[in-house]
Amino acid sequence: MPQHTVIPVLSEEVREALDQGRPVVALESTILAHGLPRPRNLAVGEELEALVRAEGAVPATVAVLDGVPHAGLDKAQLERVAGGEGVRKFGHRDLAPALAAGATGATTVSATAFLAARAGLRVFATGGLGGVHREWVRSQDESADLSLLARTRITVVCAGVKSILDVPATLQRLETLGVSVLGYGTDRFPGFYLSSSGHPVDWTVTRPEEVAAVMAAQEALGGADSALLVANPVAEEEQLDPELHDRVLAQALTECRERGITGQAVTPFLLDFLVRATGGASLEANLAAVRGNVRLGARIAVAWAGR
């Protein structure tokens, strides 16, 4: 059988931007299909794309439609993903079966990073990464995000890793995998819902141009095609109240153990518990973090394009 390399279909806007050397920012689609209630999810998707454009860059929301990966969605395609009907959730490992089956799905961090890099994009903005789960010694549960980022040359702007995870173990794993981490305006790794997880980062930058300089140094050094993580904390005035966060998270972890919830069911259970137990405050902190990451991602993409 003839073999060919699959490259995501680019929207006209994204293709023109890449051809002209203009800045482009990849955005994941899972938050639209599976992370927010309807119809707010579509409004948020449109808002995030507008934030990228307001900073002088072009948004490239990534998804798989009828077995075809896309980087950049038109209005109808964005509405289809947000509609949710028949839209699955695809990590990196799901891409080959999805393409072969002609399936439709929203992309997680690992799938978005992979497809964005294949499309020639260098900057990806998201909310929080997956990581090493609590009680890893018993469950051996670790997000596919980490190993995928260890072999994918892309800059990921995030608010750290989800606070329901084992943050110090995740940082140790990133070090082992050779994934560089920059704290943006902070010497502490962000805690997703919280401005700080309490754990230090080795390198701090304060301007998008500094991030672009590190990206250029990565290219000059060669070596493994690992990602660069830019850990951008949610503003303190928009974070979830730390005391409320700690109390509710402890309750969520206890209930999770008592109900015997394991594996892939753990993360959605804990996140849903936090939303309900905080009266939606955790969701608002999540969205505040995403907005900040998208703005910063666009500024970094502009700085990178201007080098």
Residue among 49, 55, 142, 162 flagged as catalytic:
162
CA distance 109 to 27: 9
Residue 144 labeled ligand binder = yes
Residue among 16, 28, 135, 238 flagged as catalytic:
28
Residue 11's identity, in one-letter code, is S
CA distance 73 to 191: 30
Retrieve residue 152's tokens: 């994918």
Residue 109 labeled ligand binder = yes
CB 227 within 8 A of CB 150: yes
According to DSSP, the residues that pair with 106 across neighbouring strands are 63, 89
Residue 143 labeled ligand binder = yes
Is 175 among the residues known to form the active site? no
| Alpha-helical runs (H) found in the chain | 12-19, 30-33, 40-54, 75-83, 95-101, 109-118, 136-139, 144-149, 167-177, 208-221, 242-258, 266-277, 281-305
Is 28 among the residues known to form the active site? yes
Among 268, 7, 263, smallest CA distance to 118 is for 7
Residue 141 labeled ligand binder = yes
CB 116 within 8 A of CB 60: yes
Residue 27's identity, in one-letter code, is L
For the purposes of burial, counting CB atoms within 10 Å of the CB of 211, is it exposed (0-12), middle (13-18) or buried (19 or more)?
buried
According to DSSP, the residues that pair with 203 across neighbouring strands are 182
Residues marked active site are found at 28, 162
Summarize the annotated binding site as residue ranges. Answer: 89, 109, 141, 143-145
Binding site for Mn(2+): residue ranges? Answer: 141
Binding site membership for substrate: which residues?
A: 89, 109, 143-145
